[in-house]
Amino acid sequence: MEQRTDYAYDRRNNAGCGRFLGNFLMLALGGLIVLLLAGMFLFWRAGERVFDGFDTMFNGPTPTPQVDVRGVVLEQVKLVSELNTVTQRYSAVIPVVQEGTVLLVVPTQTKLLYVAVGDVQAGIDLSQITNESIREEGDTIYIQLPPPQIMDVSLDPRESLVYDYDRGILNLGPDAPNLQREAELKGEAELLHYACRSGIMEDANRQAVTVVEALVSVATEREVVVESQPAAAGSCPTE
């Protein structure tokens, strides 16, 4: 009878140990799953940084890409090739005279007074900028502009007009059908003269410097110095 009691006790004791061991294994397995899930979550949050770390470990740091400064500058100045001109309006009163004679003896004159109104356009041909026009000194980019030049001189036909046409006493002056064209040509020359005296070339330089500096600075994130040149000899009429 005493032996049966000890046997029952041993069975109960063994059952308790089995349950404890089973619970322990379940807890350990659950902890392992939690750790695995946490590791996967951290790995996902790390993302590309993990691979970057391995890449740096085996391949060294990624070299900083070199920017083709001259290529960037040339590409940017193409964008402003049509924005680098200065247009100014002028007016001038142009007298012209054609001499003649009556009966090969009496001198006569035909006079024409012409009001010339028109525009003079000056600018810089940025397509002339080449690799040799660009240099780097430290963090600063230097760009030398081509010299400014006159792009166009044009009369406005809506505002230019013949103010007076006089063939003299008794209207004996010579018929002068080409006198107006002569006045127009002189008018264009006079407008160009006014434009040069008022500093249109300097205005073209200032505008080009401002535009190119701003555009290239934004594109390269560098300090940019644009150097202008005086107009070429003969670009403007002399006094």
Provide the pLDDT for residue 32.
66
Task: Compute φ and ψ for 173, nearest 5 degrees.
Answer: -65, 155
Residue 119: how many CB atoms within 10 A of its CB? 15
Provide the pLDDT for residue 1.
44
- Find tokens 């994130």 and name the residue: 221
Provide the pLDDT for residue 3.
47
Burial, 129: exposed, middle or buried (Cβ in 10 Å; 0-12, 13-18, 19+)? buried
Provide the pLDDT for residue 110.
92
Tokens of 226: 């644009």
**How many angstroms separate the CA atoms of 143 and 32, rounded?**
66
DSSP count for the chain of H helices, then E strands: 5, 7
Written as tens digits, the pLDDT of the chain (239 aa) is 444 555 454 555 555 555 656 665 666 666 666 666 656 655 655 555 555 554 555 565 555 455 678 888 888 777 776 567 899 999 999 999 998 877 777 788 899 999 999 999 999 988 888 999 999 999 999 999 999 999 999 999 999 999 999 998 878 778 888 999 999 999 999 999 999 999 999 999 999 999 899 889 988 889 999 999 999 888 888 76
Provide the pLDDT for residue 114.
96
Q: Which of 127, 145, 122, 89 is nearest to 201 (CA)?
A: 122
Task: Compute φ and ψ for 214, nearest 5 degrees.
Answer: -65, -45
Three-state DSSP class for residue 128: helix
Provide the pLDDT for residue 18.
57
Residues 51-84 as b/e (b if ≥16 CB within 10 A, e otherwise) read eeeeeeeeeeeeeeeeeebbebbbebbeebeeeb
Task: Compute φ and ψ for 89, nearest 5 degrees.
Answer: -105, 140
